[in-house]
Amino acid sequence: MSLPVQYPTASLKPRREESLQGGHLWIFSGALQQPPHWIEPGGLVDVKAANGQFVARGYYNPQTDIAIRILTRDREEAIDEVFFRDRVRRALALRQAFDPEQTSAYRLIHSEGDGLPGLIVDHYAGILVVQVHTRGMERLRSLLIDALRDETGARGILLRNDSQSRRREGLEVEEPLAVSGDVPERIIVRENGVRFLVDPWQGQKTGFFIDQRDKRAALRQYARDKRVLNCFSYTGGFSVYAALTDPGTRVTSVDVSAPALEMARENFSLNGLDPDRHEFLIADVFDYLAQARRDGSLFDVVILDPPAFARSQGARSQALKAYRRLNTLGMQVLQPGGILLTCSCSGVVHLDDLLGVLAQAAQHVQRPVQLLETCTHSLDHPINLAMPETGYLKAIFCRVG
C-alpha cells in the first residue's frame, strides 16, 4: 500500500472543518489558526482540523479572503496529472448529454461546480478557451493544459487570462495565447441547431454567453409574430432565436458596442435571416429605454440581459437600484399583456432580490405582473450543492398587464 502524499499543512480553528466535510470548497483566512507563512502563494497544502485530523487538500493564497480552495478530500489523491485527467473525464461525461450535431458550444469546466475552483473552460466546436482566475490554479496550469489536450482531443486551446479579476489574486492580466494547436479568429458553433459566430480571442467572457442557451430556447414560445426588443444584445443570441420563430417577428437589438452589433447582423445572415428587416441600434440601453418611453414606442417582448451590476457585496445596494430602474423602464415600453424576460448575472444578487426588484418596478408603474418561469443554470454550469453562493445566473419570464 502506497503512503499518503505529503504536503505542507495548515490547521483550522476548532469546529471550522464542518462546512468542508459537508462539501464546501472554500476556507476563509479567519478560519485558520495562524497564516501559514511558510507556504508559497498558490502552493498546495493539507488542511487539518484542530485535533490534527486530515480534512482536505487544496491551494493557498494569503492575498485573498478565501485563503484555501479545496481540490480533494481524499488524503491519498495527489494533485498531479492523474488528478486533472480524472476531473476532465468526469466533466466530459456530464456534457455527453449534448447532441454534437445540434449543440457544439458548451462549458466544459465550471470551476467549483466541477471540482476545479478558479478554472473555466468553454468548448467551441473542438476549440477550448481556458480562463485561469486563481494563483493556485495558475501554478498547476501546465498539468491542466496537458490533461485537457489529451482527454478532449481538442484541435486548439486558447488561454484567455485577460480578466481583471486576476489582479485580486496577485496575478498579471495577460494577452490571449494559443497554448495548443491552431485557434482561428472566428468559430462557427451550433446551439440547439442555431448557428453563431464566436470570437474566442476578443469576445466577451470566452467569446459567447453560453450560459443563456436554455433561456434563449425558452424565448421561442413567446416571440412568434411579435415585436421584440433585445437590450444589451451583444452579438444577438436572443435576437436570432426570436427572429427565427416567425417571418412576422421583428427584432430591435440595442447594444453600446458597434462591433458586437455588426456580428449580430452576421449571425442573422448565417441563419438565413435578412438583417435589414430588423433594427440594430448602437446606444446606451438606459438612454434608449428612456427615449422610447417618451416617444411612446411599445414592444410585445422586452429582454433585459445586462452585464453584472455588482461584483462584490459592497456594490449590492447600488446594483439593486440599477436593476430596479432598468426593469421599470422595461415595463414602461411593454404593450399590455407583453412579456418581460429579465436577467441578472450578479452573484451577490439572488433570485429573491430580483423578484423583489420586479415587484417594486410593477408597483412604480402600477401594472400587474404575472410570474411565468424562473431559470438558473443549465447542466453545463453545475453548482456544488454545498456552495449555493457560487450560483450567479437568474432569469425570469413574466407577463406585464
* CA geometry: angle 388, 391, 395, nearest 5 deg: 130
How far apart, in whole angstroms, are the C-alpha atoms of residue 71 and residue 78?
A: 10
Name the active-site residue from 231, 343, 345, 398.
Answer: 345
| Residues whose CB is less than 8 angstroms from the CB of residue 170 and which lie 6 or more positions away in sequence, other chains included | 41, 61, 63, 135
Q: Which of these, 143, 141, 149, lies nearest to 123 by C-alpha position?
A: 149
231 is a catalytic site residue: no
The span from the first CA to the last CA of the chain, in angstroms, equals 69
Determine how many CB atoms are found less than 10 A away from the CB of residue 301: 24
Give the amino acid at 318.
Answer: Q
The DSSP result for 22-38, as a single string, is TT--EEEGGGBSS--TT
Q: Residue 277: CB partners within 8 Å, gap ≥ 6?
A: 250
Name the amino acid, one letter, at 158.
L
Count the Cβ atoms, other than its own, within 10 Å of residue 221: 12
Sign of the torsion formed by the C-alpha atoms of 102, 107, 113 and 116: positive
Give the gyration radius of the chain's Cα atoms: 23
- Residues acting as catalytic residues: 345
